[in-house]
């Protein structure tokens, strides 16, 4: 299951209200991902992180974002790994796109994160066990460029996309 998180660097709060969103949004004022892929990167910063999750997880303590992903945009069959077969673990699913019905709210969250950052820096990341083995940090420059990449080629799992004001 993938996790999707949005970061507002050096922000104190984003003041999100769960009732405004049709997906789970969990705001924390300590930059700790629900997974460990970007732990070394995040521990050098302060700010707020939003964990995005499936609607049916509102009120739960975890966030899986599988319902936010358009799995049909890149039809790949994921094989549950056999620990004795290294060919069927990581690197099975590389690209993704968001479900169209969540695009507007995700875009709103990207803008809120940027506007709340006193240094004008925000990011969105994924951590997915079937994604690329090596994580990547990419400066995507702007929200506009983020959506352009999304629409043209899809985004890459296990990548943290930084964007600026």
C-alpha span between 116 and 156 (Å, rounded): 25
Report the phi/psi class of residue 141: left, alpha or beta, with left for phi > 0 and alpha for psi in -120 to 50: left
User: For residues 69 and 103, what is the distance between their CA atoms, to the nearest angstrom?
Assistant: 10
Q: Read off the pLDDT of residues 23-63 as tens digits, 9 standing for 90 and up.
A: 999 999 999 998 889 999 999 999 999 999 999 998 887 78
Residue 106 has pLDDT above 80, yes or no: yes
List, for residues 7-23, the tens digit of each pLDDT value: 999 999 999 999 999 99
> Domain-by-domain residue ranges, the chain?
3-164
* Whether pLDDT at 136 is above 80: yes
- Helix/strand number for the chain, H first, E second: 3, 8
Q: Say whether pLDDT at 139 is over 60.
A: yes
DSSP state of 73: G
Q: Can you say how many angstroms the Cα of residue 116 is from the centroid of all Cα atoms in its chain?
A: 18
In terms of Cβ atoms closer than 10 Å to its own Cβ (0-12, 13-18, 19+), residue 40 is exposed
75-79 long-range contacts (CB < 8 A, ≥24 apart) are 78/130
Whole-structure pTM value = 0.90
Chain segment 56-96, per-residue pLDDT in tens: 998 887 789 999 999 888 766 665 555 555 555 566 668 89
Write down the residue that tokens 């925000």 correspond to.
122
Question: What confidence score (pLDDT) does residue 78 get?
Answer: 60
The pLDDT, as a whole number, for residue 60 is: 82
What is residue 73's predicted lDDT score, i.e. its pLDDT?
Answer: 83
Q: Which residues of 152-163 are buried (b: 16+ CB within 10 A; e: fewer)?
A: eebbbbbbbbbb
Question: C-alpha 22: how far from its chain's center?
Answer: 16
């Amino acid at each position: 299951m993938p996790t999707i998180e949005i970061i507002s660097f050096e922000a104190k709060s984003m003041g999100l209200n769960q009732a405004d969103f049709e997906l789970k949004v969990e705001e924390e004022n300590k930059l700790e991902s629900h997974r460990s892929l970007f732990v070394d990167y995040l521990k050098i910063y302060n700010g707020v992180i939003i964990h995005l999750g499936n609607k049916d997880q509102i009120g739960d303590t975890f966030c899986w974002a599988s319902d936010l992903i358009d799995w049909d945009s890149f039809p790949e069959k994921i094989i549950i790994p056999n620990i004795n077969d290294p060919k069927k673990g990581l690197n099975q699913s590389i690209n993704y796109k968001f479900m169209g019905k969540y695009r507007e709210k995700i875009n709103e969250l990207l803008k809120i994160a940027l506007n709340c950052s006193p240094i004008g820096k925000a990011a969105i990341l994924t951590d997915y066990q079937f994604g690329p083995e090596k994580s990547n940090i990419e400066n995507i420059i702007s929200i506009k460029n983020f959506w352009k990449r999304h629409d043209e080629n899809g985004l890459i799992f296990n990548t943290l996309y930084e964007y600026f004001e």
